[in-house]
Structure 1
Amino acid sequence: MKGTIIISLSAKWTTILKNGLLIILGAFIYAVAINDFLIPHQIGEGGVTGLTAVGYYALHIPPFITNLVLNGLLLVIGFRFLDQKTVWYSLWAVLWISIFLKLPRLLQYQTRQTIIPAIAGGVLMGIAMGIIFRGEGTIAGSTILAKIMNRYFGMMTGTAMLLFDLIVAIPSGLIIGLQNMILTVVELYVSAVVLNNLLSRFGAKKSVTIITNQTDQVTAALSKRLKQGITLVNAKGYYYQEKRPMIYAICSKPQLAEIVPVISTIDPDALVVIEDVHSVKGELLDKIL
């Protein structure tokens, strides 16, 4: 019993350490996107990050101060409505984003082709948020509000984030100009596409459905190779009215490359249907919404 408790605590702290390091990495990439691509080219952002940019452009307030203060207030709201673990991880993310925003520019990149920093900043933003989300945190700001909307009103998190981001991004055109406001919307769109793609890959698996005359042999071979559960589904062919079980299994892409030759060796005439699926535990479903 004591050994089980020690193992459980060790696994818990390992998870916390892994998530903490992922969030630090994501916060660093996020700060690079702001310091090296958005602010130098007067491109805005959505949510609290957009307000930090506007505050810098209009009032010369250091971005790290605005980020820390506004996100701190939103995290207080988050404690009331959201899971406390997510809020603590988000606080960790906000802290490190603020620290990295205070550092000097890393890349010193400057160009007149303003679409380039908009796209590059959007890609980095999307990657950063994906990494932070993978570490079970958020960047606070509009993410906190979006999660509240998702939890209590059923609005998809991505849609709610875009809504709150645009509320800040569009009026920012009064300060940064119409062209830069349009570039801001482009950057937001790019970051949303990148983030959605990263989230869609979280828990992504392949589903394999097999119809074969050698059901027992194929099932035994797959079970031995995959070392996991395999489902047999009772099925009936309409034309010949023949009853035959279908084999259904979930596997990763590397595992798929291993099992297809096995199936072909046992039954070259087997019908194999492969589809992309998102296979995650119930409590992790919010990560792919």
Structure 2
Amino acid sequence: MKGTILITSKQLVILKNGSLIILGAFIYAIAINDFLIPHQIGEGGVTGLTTIGYYALHIPPFLTNLFLNGFLLVIGFRFLDQKTVWYSLWAVLWISIFLKLPRLLQYHTSQTIIPAVAGGVLMGVAMGIIFRGEGTIAGSTILAKIMNRYFGMMTGTAMLLFDLIVAIPSGFVIGLQNMILTVIELYVSAVVLNNLLSRFGAKKSVTIITNQTDRVTAILSERLKQGITLVDAKGYYHQEKRSMIYIICTKSQLAEIVPLISEIDPKAFVVVEDVHSVNGKLLDKIL
């Protein structure tokens, strides 16, 4: 049809990732502008340096963020794939834009633990969204991605390590109490980020041992419309050979599988475990 614009799958992925990064950048800026800076709570990595620069020298955070992260992105080009670096540049640009905007929530409290925890949660959520968009916030996340890629260290844990290098000395500028609050905020952020990343590819593995293997397999295959693996096994005590049924499924599918097995064979032995499964090319996302 004339005038119809066709969007390729690659363009759709770029549009989706770009939108996720903008959303994550917005939440990240709210955490800094509305929870950390108003309560003189620091941060780690480059973001920590932007807050220290603001507290000590009144340098606008968006300028420090743009300059220092630009430098680290150059390093990223050497160790990370170019797609991640370009998405990270997109994230840094939008974070800098949102940091320049006026405060949105105008929130202030004397209970300083509240903004520390709230800021940590928002930071973790924001970085999780940006990572899902295949980007980073540059700074310590570039270094964390390198540690993740070459040493297998969890991204959130590696970030916490690098962030503490900046956060602890910041106590000379923001004071001991606020430095402790900064460490709490960083810990909360790392925990939230690790949990969000661990949910990528999260599924359930179900192992079923039953006397009615053929019937259970046939019904599950018909219901689930997916592959089912049969594993040859032999019981040591009775020396009896039997096939075990092994399935990878979602939580919603599990809710359908369990009552179905109970109905077919109430004496079936079922083991359910949490697993993380993705295609080989996406394996780095679950580390």
**TM bin (shorter chain):** over 0.9
Identity %: 87
Match of 1:273 in 2: 271
Deviation at 1:158, TM superposition (A): 3.1
Matched, 1:13 2:24: no
Aligned with 1:232 (options 217, 230, 233): 230
- 1:42 corresponding residue in structure 2: 40
Shift of 1:154: 4.8
Give deviations 1:167-196, integer Å, cap 9, x for gaps. Answer: 100011000000000000000000011111
Higher mean Cα deviation, 32-41 or 9-18? 9-18
CA–CA distance in 1 between the matches of 2:222 and 2:17? 33
Match of 1:119 among 117, 120, 128: 117
Kindly indicate whether residue 173 of structure 2 is the aligned counterpart of residue 187 of structure 1: no
CA displacement at 1:262 relative to structure 2: 1.5
Looking at structure 1, the residues matched to 111 and 133 of structure 2 have their Cα atoms a distance apart, in angstroms, of: 34
Aligned residues: 283
Q: How far apart are 1:150 and its partner, in Å?
A: 3.3
Residue 207 of structure 1 corresponds to 205
The answer as to 2:72 corresponding to 1:74 is yes
Equivalent residue number for residue 246 of structure 1: 244
Moved more, 143-152 or 264-273: 143-152
Give the TM-score normalised by structure 2: 0.95
- Name the residue aligned to 1:159: 157
Rounded to whole Å, the distance in 1 between the matches of 2:200 and 2:139 is 23
Describe the superposition over 1:105-164 as per-residue Cα deviations: whole angstroms up to 9, x where unpaired: 010000000000000000000000111111111111001112223334554433321221
Aligned AA for 1:133? F
Match of 2:108 among 107, 110, 113: 110
CA distance in 2, matches of 1:272, 1:152: 37
Alpha-carbon distance change, 196 to 154 in structure 1, aligned in 2, over 3 angstroms: closer
Secondary structure (helix, strand or coil) at the match of 1:159 reads helix
Whole-Å Cα distance in 2 between the matches of residues 249 and 50 of structure 1?
A: 46
SS in 2 for 1:250: strand
Secondary structure of the residue that 2:169 maps to in structure 1? coil
**Residue 64 in structure 1 maps to residue 65 in structure 2:** no
Match of 2:169 among 165, 168, 171: 171
Out of 139, 142, 148, the position equivalent to 2:140 is 142
| Cross-structure match for 1:3 | none
CA distance in 2, matches of 1:160, 1:273: 33
- Paired AA for residue 44 in structure 1: G
Letter of the aligned partner of 2:201 in structure 1?
G
Could you tell me whether the CA contact under 8 Å between 2:156 and 2:191 is conserved in 1? no
1:33-63 Cα shifts (integer Å, max 9, x gaps)? 0000000000000000000100100111111
- 8 Å contact 2:235–2:241 — kept in the other structure? yes
Give the structure 1 partner of residue 91 of structure 2: 93
**Could you give the per-residue CA deviations for residues 65-121 of structure 1, whole angstroms, max 9, x where no partner exists?**
111111111111111111111111111111111111111001000000000000000
Q: CA RMSD in A?
A: 1.4
Amino acid at match of 1:279: S
- Bigger mean CA deviation after superposition, 260-269 or 143-152: 143-152
